[in-house]
Every structure is written in structure tokens, then in C-alpha cells.
A and B are shown apart, each in its own frame.
Chain A
Amino acid sequence: MAGAWTRRIVLGCLAAIIAAPPLAAQETLKIGAAISLSGNFSREGGLLRDGYELWRERLNAGGGLKAGGKTYKVQIVYYDDESKAQTSAQLTEKLVSDDGASFVFGPYSSGIATATAVISERYRALTLAPMATANSLYARGYKYIFTPSPLADQGLVPILELAKGLTPAPKTVAIVGPDDLFPNITSDGARKRAESLGFTVAYTGKYPKGANDLSAVATQIKSVTPDIILATGYVQDSILLIKSLRELQVSPKLIGLATAVGVQDFRTALGPAAEGVMGVDYWVPTLTWKDPLFDDSAGFAKAFEAKYAKPPTFHAASGAAAGVVLQLAIEKAGTVDPTAVRNTLLSMQGETFYGPFKFDANGVNTLAGLNVSQIIGGQPKVIFPVAVKQADPIYPRTGQ
């Protein structure tokens, strides 16, 4: 008897499998993501994937993606690119040619995305690259890569715009940072914007990446006594720079960094010396832009914490926002044909919890903006744009 039952169950299961697809009447939309889950960028890559995953899960839980009367369940195929550009390019090729992904979610870092963009362009796979923001990537005439995030040259611009409205009005600016691809783009962008806003750029300096002592830089900056010091560096050299400035008692009215001052290391390492320092954030939880999936940034933060039991970072926010941008474009286009979706993206304007978007022909989001936070009373507080601020800026800076 047992044998007969076994046969019945097996047959039943087979029948169910054969019958299932027509019953479901739901199609699958495949998105490929070759992303750094090991190597140098494993942390950032992992955070970005968290954002993509949260979007997918929430979208599918709400019924999936609706386009032209059909409903699609979203599937994301992930591969680990080991933080290597060449590997990422090969995996992207596999995703779009073997795995049949017609859309791509970009890797972490511009360096890697520069290698993968060539592939997605060749296969016309529409790519959203929220964490690849080097200007050069969007100056090659590629048609299939879009980023919802602001580009690298914008890195210090919001601090300058904020400074323009402060009293007593700051006049002179010093810009300093490591001699490296990304910081150099940020530095050039800041210099141009400072000049167009009417500031005098009294000093621009570069130091070798990994320099162990910055007292020479601090001495040079001291000799021009700028009102504003802007630094394009990473966390470690920004800490060293602030320490060196402090030792030589250089106290400008404003210190602005191109990195987020919310980073824990930054505050613990500098202690009271971090007070009053401003930094730039891609995303802060107080933003009030709206979208249909997460509602707003508070909604995104809540959903993220519910899934991952930790507060979200801007990497994850940008990843989820890239998903929402794609979702809005596909729904509006009414098709999952990548070229049609691309044309829709170019003609539409919209917003996600991460910010508003309108793309130019190079895939650059012309409405993207950055936010400024300042360490006030030991905690990072959003001070700019005014619409989302948690506190008024402390100016001139009072910290040592």
C-alpha cells in the first residue's frame, strides 16, 4: 500500500508542477547584479545589496511589478565580483547573455562600473548604478546607464550653497584633499562652484594618499587664514587633517568634509574636536520625498530596520531608490522592453524617498541633491537643505 501512496503523491506533485505556471499567470522579471560581496568593497557592496533586496521583497509582497496589464514577479540574480572590475565585467556578461537579465543593478564604485558599463551597453541591458558617480562614467555617451545619485563633482557643493547664506558672510575658501581620482573630481567641482558663488579660493592643495603627517598642509592653510576649509578626503585622512589643524590652532569659521560626519569612527576618534564639523550625506532619514513603495525616508528606514535589525546607510537607500526608479519607469512605459523603458526614463520626471529625478541623455539625474549634516552636541544633525533640517547650523564654528 505504501508503494501505491508514494506513487500517487509523486504523480500529484508532478501534476501540480505542470499545472502551476498557467494557474499563477505571473511572469518573472529578471534583474542581474554583479556586486562586491568579498574583497575591498565587501562592506559597501553588501549594504548596496541590502537596499536592492529590500526593494525586491517589498515590491513582490505587494503583488509585483505591473506593466501593460501583466504582473511580474521580480527576481534578482546576484554574483560576487570580489571587488574586481574585470570579474564584475565577466559576470555582467554572464548575467545578460546566459541568465537572461534584461536589466542590471550596478556594482559598488565607479571604477568597477566603468568596466561593467561597456558590457551592459553592448547588450542594451538597462543599468541603474546608484553607487557609481564619477563624472567620467557619464561622459562617454553611454545610453543604458543611469544613476539616481548626484555626481562626484557635486561632493562639496551643498556646503558652499549653505555657506552663501550665512552671516557673517564667509569670503575665502581653502580646498584640500588626497591626490586621488574621486577627491580630485570633488575638489575641481568645489573650486568652480566656489568661484561662481563669489568666494575667493585662497588655497587648493593635494597630499599623497596615505600621507602620515599633514602638519605641512596645516601650516600652509594657516598662512592664508581662510574662512572655510573644505576637505575631499576619506575618513582617516580627514581625522588626521582636523587633528593637525587643531595642533596649529587653525580655527576657520567652517570646516566641511566630503564624507559623512555621521560615521561612527569619525566622532569617536575626534571626540570634542569633531564638534561643529560639517559633512555631506547622500541620504538622511529625515527626507520627505515620497514614493508609492516606501512612502518616505522614515518609511524606508522603518522597513529596513524591520528586515535587517540595523539602521540603514545611504548605500542601502540608494540601492532601494534605484529599484523604485526602475519600477516607476517600467510601470509608466507599460512594457519590460529595456529600450522602451529607457526612452520613458528620459522623458519622465518623478520622485522616490531618496529624492526627485529627471535624467538627461547621459543618464545623469539633474535633480539630485546632497544633504549637509553638522556635529552638534556630539551628534550629527541635518542642517541643509532647509526643508529637511533638524537643527540650525552652528556658525561660526565654536569647537576647538
Chain B
Amino acid sequence: MFAQTFVNGLLLGGVYGVATIGFSMVWGVMGIINLAHGAYIMMGAYFSYMLASRLGIDPFVSMPLVMAALFCVGFTVQHLLLNPVMRTSVLLTLAMTFGLELFLVDLFVALFTSDIRSVNTSYSSQALAVGPVLISYVRLAAALLSLTLAAFLYLVLTRTRLGQAILATALDREAARLMGIFPERIYNYTAGIGAALAGAAGSLASTLFPISPGLGNSFIGAVFVITVLGGIGSVTGAVAAGFVYALIQSFAASYLGVNYQEIVAFGLFLAILIVRPQGLFGKRFFGEV
């Protein structure tokens, strides 16, 4: 059971990582705590579900499409709603994203009802047996895809002009402006990428969990803890912390009881905030924009 618990944690950790990267990046670069991030994940899951149930496209295949759709959502919301508010007060964005979350969840209740849906693939009951340990193919694929996405994003941030501009804006908004970077344009792209990653997480979640308009809520708590654990704004931190969080949750559930998984995880959250507020892997400057 020890080995299976370990594997359960590892497989879930990847999905947590992808669910967190976008949230962490938006927070790190713009200082916005995007409470609508959970709703973006939920939207990603519904898009995947629609493509799977109407057109028969496997969620793993339709993921780029879903990400593109969510990129547009994130980009547009940032441009039309959040940038104007940010000019007055960054704190107001918190209220704004909270309202957006409520709006989106209720919109999906109206569009899809609160009936529970699920994507069923032919391979969802198949698993790789390594000794006594079963590794579900769906979860394995989700975990590997998560790592791939994280690696890709890391390369984008460190190797491309856009990535450098995003990091530069995160470090010093005014200096970036003097270097010919338009911060608001960079914010749009950052928000778009963040939403696209939420969409990817939703795609992956649609293969693992039942889908309902409340889906994002079950993630947002974990996303918060992982962001702080990994260091606000850090991509590699979010991925590593995703694994740490999922492993802790998995072991707490198996050995202390499932009721303890959240007590232990949130206890950890508080401990990190006190002992190492910049997170396990965080660099100080990312959060201080």
C-alpha cells in the first residue's frame, strides 16, 4: 500500500502543478490573485467534455484547442475588465475576479444545469501493473502532459522575447516600460497564458473527475497552498510543490484517514507562511511587484 500511495500522489501532483502554474504566474507578474482561476479550470473541463461527447475527440487530443479558447477568455477579460481596474487599485481586482467567478459558475449552471457529467474513455479502466502497484494510464498521461506543459512554459519564459518581457515586467514595471515594453500588453498575454494553463488542467481533470459547475472550487484551495508552497510566480516551484502537496495529501489520507488530508495540507500552508513566506522554492522578488 505504501508504493501505491506514493504513486497515487505522484500521478495527482502533476495535475495540481498545471492547475497552479497559471494562477501563480498571474499573481507573481501582476499581483492579481485571480479567484476566477477555478472557474477557468471548470470551463476547460466543460469544453473538453463538449468536444468529447459531441465530436468524439479525446480530451488529450483536444487540449490545444481548449487551451486556445481559454487563452482568448483570459486575454479578453484582462484587457476589458482587469486592466482598467488595475489602474485605480490592484486590491479591487480581487473583488472583480471574485465576481467573475460567481458569474461564470452561475452561467455554466444556466447553460449546462448542475447535472454531473463525465468523460469516459475506453482506456480509463486500464492500468500498467508494476508488481503490486497499478498505474492508471489516464493518470499517467495526465501527469506526463503536465510536466511537458510546465517544461514548455519554462522555455517560453526563459528563451523567448515575450517570456523575457513578462519576467522583466514582473521584476520592475517602470523599468520595463522604459525599455519599450508595454506592461498592459504583457499583462494581457500573461493572463491569457494563465487561463490557457487552467484550461489544460480542466482538460486533464475532465478525464479523472466528475464534471459539474462547482469543479473549480475543489481545486482552488489546493492551488492556493501550492502557490505559496512553491513560491509566488515560480513555474518550477509550482510543479515541485504540486508533487509535494499531492504526496502529503495522499499519505495523510492513507495513514491518518481521508478526513485528515486537508487538515494536514492546510496546516502545512500555515507553517510555510510563518517559517518561509517566500515559499520552498520561491525567490523573493517575484511576489513583490
A residues near B262, Cβ cutoff 8 Å: 208
A264 at the interface (CB under 8 A from B): yes
B65 at the interface (CB under 8 A from A): no
A residues near B4, Cβ cutoff 8 Å: 219, 222, 248
Most buried by A among B116, B127, B136, B138: B116
Known contacts A213-B12, A269-B117, then 16 further A-B pairs from the complex at CB < 8 Å, ordered by chain A residue: A205-B257, A211-B261, A215-B250, A216-B253, A216-B261, A219-B1, A220-B1, A240-B210, A243-B118, A243-B208, A243-B210, A247-B138, A248-B127, A248-B136, A269-B118, A400-B125
Interface string of A231-242 (1 = CB under 8 A from B): 000011001100
Per the bound structure, the CA–CA distance linking A265 and B212 in Å amounts to 11
Minimal Cβ-Cβ distance residue in B for A205 = B258
Contact B218 A249 (CB under 8 A): no
A residues near B259, Cβ cutoff 8 Å: 179, 206-208
Minimal Cβ-Cβ distance residue in A for B253 = A216
Contact A273 B125 (CB under 8 A): yes
Tell me the interface secondary structure of chain A in the complex: helix
Minimal Cβ-Cβ distance residue in A for B137 = A247
A residues near B182, Cβ cutoff 8 Å: none
Most buried by A among B12, B120, B138: B120
* Among B5, B115, B125, contact of A219 (Cβ-Cβ < 8 Å): B5
A residues near B5, Cβ cutoff 8 Å: 216, 219
A residues near B219, Cβ cutoff 8 Å: 212
* Among A212, A213, A265, A272, contact of B116 (Cβ-Cβ < 8 Å): A265
Contact A220 B125 (CB under 8 A): no
Kindly identify, within residues 211 to 268 of chain A, every residue whose CB is under 8 Å from any CB belonging to chain B: 211-217, 219-220, 222-223, 235-236, 239-240, 243, 246-249, 264-266, 268
Whether A216 contacts B250 in the complex (CB less than 8 A), given A206-B259, A273-B125, comes out as: yes
B residues near A212, Cβ cutoff 8 Å: 209, 218-219, 222
Contact A269 B125 (CB under 8 A): no
Contact A215 B12 (CB under 8 A): yes
B160 at the interface (CB under 8 A from A): no
Kindly identify, within residues 14 to 43 of chain B, every residue whose CB is under 8 Å from any CB belonging to chain A: none
Per the bound structure, the CA–CA distance linking A75 and B115 in Å amounts to 35
B12 to chain A, nearest CB (A): 6
B8 at the interface (CB under 8 A from A): yes
Contact A243 B116 (CB under 8 A): no
Whether A236 contacts B116 in the complex (CB less than 8 A), given A206-B258, A207-B258, comes out as: yes
A210 at the interface (CB under 8 A from B): yes
B residues near A210, Cβ cutoff 8 Å: 217-218
A292 at the interface (CB under 8 A from B): no
Interfacial residues, chain B to chain A (CB-CB below 8 A): 1, 4-5, 8, 11-12, 115-118, 120, 124-125, 127, 134, 136, 138-139, 208-210, 212, 217-219, 222, 249-250, 253-254, 257-259, 261-262
Contact B127 A268 (CB under 8 A): no
A16 at the interface (CB under 8 A from B): no
Per the bound structure, the CA–CA distance linking A212 and B115 in Å amounts to 17
Contact B134 A248 (CB under 8 A): yes
A271 at the interface (CB under 8 A from B): yes
Interface CB pairs A-B, < 8 A, 18? A179-B259, A208-B259, A211-B261, A212-B222, A214-B258, A215-B8, A216-B254, A217-B258, A222-B4, A239-B118, A243-B118, A246-B125, A265-B115, A266-B116, A268-B115, A268-B117, A270-B120, A400-B125
A residues near B1, Cβ cutoff 8 Å: 219-220, 223
B143 to chain A, nearest CB (A): 12
Per the bound structure, the CA–CA distance linking A110 and B286 in Å amounts to 51
B residues near A266, Cβ cutoff 8 Å: 116
B residues near A207, Cβ cutoff 8 Å: 258-259
A residues near B254, Cβ cutoff 8 Å: 216, 219-220
Minimal Cβ-Cβ distance residue in B for A218 = B8
